[in-house]
Chain A
Amino acid sequence: EAQVTQNPRYLITVTGKKLTVTCSQNMNHEYMSWYRQDPGLGLRQIYYSMNVEVTDKGDVPEGYKVSRKEKRNFPLILESPSPNQTSLYFCASSYRILTGQSLYGYTFGSGTRLTVV
């Protein structure tokens, strides 16, 4: 089954304790991205990656790191989590569409509910 797998689904941690949220896709998508969802704010992009070893900041990158060493994996790293990073996180992937081809839209993971206390 084509899917984006995020782990863990729920995570409670303490301020300052480094954590990693994993994301893996099995569709050979070039493009991967992380979003956070907060009430009243919708989803905002944290980081994205156009391909292996190519990453760039989104709209809210502060306090996060990412890496793309393999095409299928795109982990989100919080080096020193703080309470304002309590949120619902989504990983998403897509084909890197060339001009003229159809756009299928993103495939989203099931989300990770992170609480930082």
Chain B
Amino acid sequence: AQTVTQSQPEMSVQEAETVTLSCTYDTSESNYYLFWYKQPPSRQMILVIRQEAYKQQNATENRFSVNFQKAAKSFSLKISDSQLGDTAMYFCAFMKHPGAGSYQLTFGKGTKLSVIP
């Protein structure tokens, strides 16, 4: 079974600064996907970024980027130029490759990020 660990229950960052959220996972799979989801106070689950394990290059989406270290089983999210709208709960999630017959997302417990004006 897969596990996902987010070791920072809460974090805060000043507006316009950079913050990094940590995520580690445990799996015996070699092919899988990793995701970061954002949940603002509206509670909508919003996909922020995804990474395919077979890709060496770290994924980037505008101000959001990841540091994917496959050997270390680490998948951190960096938010640059933090904005007030980034205030939310962030979840790291793991999915085995669908070829393995499963589409289940395994989530971490979340990190509550507050952006301070």
Contact = CB atoms under 8 A, between A and B. Distances in A.
Nearest to B105: A106
Contacts, number: 56
Contacts of B50: 103, 105
Contacts of B107: 35, 42-44
Interface of B: 4, 33, 35, 42-45, 47, 50, 52, 91, 95, 97-99, 103-105, 107-110
Contacts of A92: 45, 105
Given A33-B104, A110-B44, 4 more contacts: A41-B109, A99-B99, A105-B35, A105-B50
A82 to B, nearest CB: 23
Contacts of A103: 33, 50, 52, 95, 98
B98 A42 contact: no
Given A40-B109, A99-B98, A103-B33, A45 B104 contact: yes
A111 B43 contact: yes
Please give me the 9 A-B residue pairs with the lowest Cβ-Cβ distance, nearest first: A108-B45, A42-B107, A99-B99, A42-B109, A43-B107, A97-B98, A105-B47, A111-B43, A31-B103
A35 B110 CA distance: 15
A96 interface: yes
Interface in A97-114: 97-99, 103, 105-106, 108, 110-111
Contacts of A44: 107
Contact of B104 (A40, A58, A88): A58
